[in-house]
Structures are given as C-alpha cells and as structure tokens.
Amino acid sequence: MKIFAKQILEWYARHKRELPWRDSADPYRIWLSEIILQQTRVAQGLPYYLSFVDTFPTVNDLAAAPLDQVLRLWQGLGYYSRARNLHACAKQVVSEYGGVFPNSAKALQGLTGIGPYTSSAIASIAFDEQVPVVDGNVYRLLSRLFDDPTDISGSGAYKHFYNKALGLIPKDQPGEFNQAMMEFGATHCKPKNPDCQSCIFVAQCASYINGSVSQRPVKLKKVKVTNRFLNYFMFEFRDRILVNQRAGKDIWQGLHDFYCIEGDLPEEELLSRLAEAIGDDVVRACVIESQSATIKHVLTHQRLNARFFRLSLTDREVYEELAQNHLLLDVPKAKLKNLAKPILIENYLKSGALSLF
C-alpha cells in the first residue's frame, strides 16, 4: 500500500500537467474545475475555467450573477444542468455558509450538484480529508491493477472501487494522491493503447500479467441513443425576431432557441401542423424566406436532426399576437448574440443565417 502510494506520487511530481487549478487549496476553484471537467476533456474545459474565474473571481460573484449570464458563459460545454447546478450551489454556499465552503466530504454532499466524486475531490485537495476520488480514470486504473472483473456500470461498483482506493490512499497527502490517480489514468493508463511497457506498475499490474488489459474495466451497460427531429421556425418582423426560452426538464433548460415542432415530418405535413398550432391566418401572413438543410448534432444520449425555417411577417399586430399567444420573446436580432443558446443554434447563426454573427 505504502509502496504504491509512493510510486504514484513520485510519478505525479515528475509528469503532472501544469493546470491553473492545481497546487491551489481554494475550494471555490477546485469545485469550479471539477464541475467543468465532468464529461469534458481538459483541453476543452480549460478555456471555460479561465473565463469563469476571470468573470466570477469568487463564489459570491458567481452567486450574484444572473443565470442567463452563467449559461451564456457555459455555452458549448453541454450538459447544461451542470451550469444550472453550479449557479444554485454558489447561491447555497453564500446563503447557508456565508460564502465559505464546508470542509468535509459529507457536508459538501449537501450542496446542489455535488455528489460523492466532487465532494471527495474538494475535501481531499482543499482540506486534506482522507477520502478517495473515484472517477472513470480511477475505475480503469484500479480494475486493471487488480484485474478486477466488476462491472463499473453496476449499482455496487462505486462502493466496491471506493473501498479499494481507500485501502491505498495515504493519510498525509490525500489530495496529491487523488490527483495522481486521476492524472495517471488520464495520461498513461488510457482507455485505448495504454503504454504498458513503460508503466511504473508493470511488475504488479494483475491485468498486464494475465493479459486482460484490453478487457478492463468491464462495462456492460450500453448508452441508448435516440433520434430527434427538430423543426425550428424563426418568425421575423423587420429587425426583430421571436425567441423561445426552453423550460421543463428537457435538454437545454433555460437556454434560448426558436419556436419548434418536433417530428420526422415531410414539409407539407409540417406546415399543416404549424397551421394547426399557430393558426391558418398567421401562416398565411408569413413569407418563407429560406429553409436550411438538415443539420446533425450528436449528444451523448441523443442524435439531433434540425431544420431551420425563416419566416418574415409584414403585419406588426400579427407578429405581436404570435409572441403573446405562444409565450415567445420579442428581441432585436442584434441582441441574439447576448442570449445563452444551445451550440446547435449558435453554430447555425454563425453560419451566416442572419448576417449578424
């Protein structure tokens, strides 16, 4: 146990990447980095981290910001529930703890959006609590080291590997150890083509000895991907446009897009559905200026197929009634840049759709 900890800490000291949140005991910055890097590669998340720290230097600054500003800064990272939870957590830290993060993993888990992994990372790195971090990299490293056939997608996997890591983590450097484990898994014991020949654990890695490296970790559950077809209608009146702010618990909650009819529909049926939804008189008052080709956008659990229809109205009264009846926001086109939007919408607008981006 002591030999393993010594080896990986020495490796980490020599090979760790220089990242701005490392060598910091500030729980705010550690928390921010961990939330941003969930489901995100370091190279992609780093610019977002720097933007957040620059815009919101403290948890009090983040808590005081409007949610739309937070979502706008998050735009492009995906999994927008993380951004909403980030904002809610900041408010909770300020209102319940006076802007000071609690200093134990157990207490941290009482905050919005902080689970076992994130709480252990903050508690060990910021407060030297001897609690192991178990993320995908640690699952992989431990399952290979012990040649462990436990299915990491199973209900008991977290507790199983947590206990294995608990048996390895030293009392005196828990934060450094956890960072070393994650770093080793991310840069050396990689999912594909790990460099086993130069691995510091080659003599004690059971899966290498048994020839089962490629079979570890075991993950039996497969992600079910669904196809969705989004037909967006951009209702315009001169230099203004109607925008929808997404509600409910679907993807992109709180972000802005356009009036949408969902379904894989031929154009004739789609326009018929539009007429049923907003009225024949409104459709007759619209002129279809353009229609985009189908734009594909892949998320972890969904494959999106989107089309955009630009419709101009010449009657202000019809335009305003449409906004009122369907709870759409009437905004100047020039202000679209400032609204938080899904990256699918952002990329379409940047393609020159409105000559504003």
Which residues are the active-site residues?
Answer: 34
340 vs 336: CA distance, rounded Å: 9
| Tally: H helices and E strands in the chain | 16, 8
What angle (nearest 5°) sits at the alpha carbon of residue 262, between those of residues 259 and 267?
90
Q: Which amino acid is at 277?
A: A
Cα–Cα nearest to 19, from 49, 59, 52, 61: 49
151 vs 173: CA distance, rounded Å: 29
Assign 297 to helix, strand or coil.
strand
Q: Could you tell me the CA-to-CA distances from 113 to 71, 85, 110, 229, 290 in Å, in that order?
A: 15, 5, 9, 30, 42
140 vs 137: CA distance, rounded Å: 5
Cα–Cα nearest to 295, from 283, 286, 308: 308
